[in-house]
A and B are shown apart, each in its own frame.
Chain A
Amino acid sequence: AQTVTQSQPEMSVQEAETVTLSCTYDTSENNYYLFWYKQPPSRQMILVIRQEAYKQQNATENRFSVNFQKAAKSFSLKISDSQLGDTAMYFCASNSGTYKYIFGTGTRLKVLA
């Protein structure tokens, strides 16, 4: 069975600093996809970044980047130059090409002024 684990329930970071959120996953599939979603206080979930497992290069979207370690089944999210608007709940998720998306329990990130 697929699982996604986020072991950091809460984190905080000073504005302009860098923070890394951890995620580990387990799957028996060879082809799968990994995602980070952001859920701000408004509750609307939005995609931050995604990674295809067959790509060795780590995905990057502006200040957001991932460290994808396939052998270790690790998929961490790095936020550089943290901004107050980054305060949110962050969910790691996986999909193996079926209808099913598996979500972690989330990490609540607070950016401090």
Chain B
Amino acid sequence: NAGVTQTPKFRILKIGQSMTLQCTQDMNHNYMYWYRQDPGMGLKLIYYSVGAGITDKGEVPNGYNVSRSTTEDFPLRLELAAPSQTSVYFCASNRHVGADTQYFGPGTRLTVL
């Protein structure tokens, strides 16, 4: 199992550009998440999904969009990038909630200049 994979690992964007962060898991997990991690802070939830075709907003969804057309993939779209979106982005997944372990991808470091 590759687990949770994310691409790219690093990216620099100019203000106003758009991009998609890719996330794939091969563990047949129902739940998938996108978090952002700012320096000195914990993880903040951007969007989550409880299964293919079902997505919902987390704490900080503004400026982002997601889709979940398959169980495996959960891409995060940034439209009109802003400096406030400079952060490290993590994708995570788990089969069930509660005691289930969340498996994390390696993260994407995004800088918006």
Question: Which residues of A are in contact with B by a Cβ distance under 8 Å?
Answer: 4, 9, 33, 35, 37, 42-47, 50, 52, 91, 95, 97-101, 103-106
Contact = CB atoms under 8 A, between A and B. Distances in A.
B104 A46 contact: yes
26 contacts: A4-B42, A9-B40, A33-B99, A35-B101, A35-B102, A43-B88, A44-B104, A44-B106, A44-B107, A45-B92, A47-B102, A50-B99, A52-B99, A91-B43, A95-B98, A98-B97, A99-B33, A99-B97, A101-B45, A101-B102, A103-B42, A103-B43, A105-B40, A105-B41, A105-B42, A106-B40
A46 B90 CA distance: 12
B50 to A, nearest CB: 6
Which bracket fits the contact residues of B? 20 to 34
Interface string B1-43: 0000000000000000000000000000001010000001111
A66 to B, nearest CB: 14
> Which of B42, B92, B101, B104 has the most A CB atoms < 10 Å from its CB?
B42
B97 A97 contact: yes
B50 A99 contact: yes
Given A43-B88, A95-B99, A101-B102, 20 more contacts: A4-B42, A33-B98, A33-B99, A35-B102, A37-B104, A44-B105, A47-B101, A50-B101, A91-B42, A95-B97, A95-B98, A97-B97, A98-B97, A99-B33, A99-B97, A101-B33, A101-B45, A103-B42, A105-B40, A106-B42
> Which of A37, A46, A99, A104 has the most B CB atoms < 10 Å from its CB?
A99
Nearest to B58: A100
Contact of B107 (A9, A33, A43, A101): A43
Nearest to B92: A45
Contact of A99 (B40, B48, B106): B48
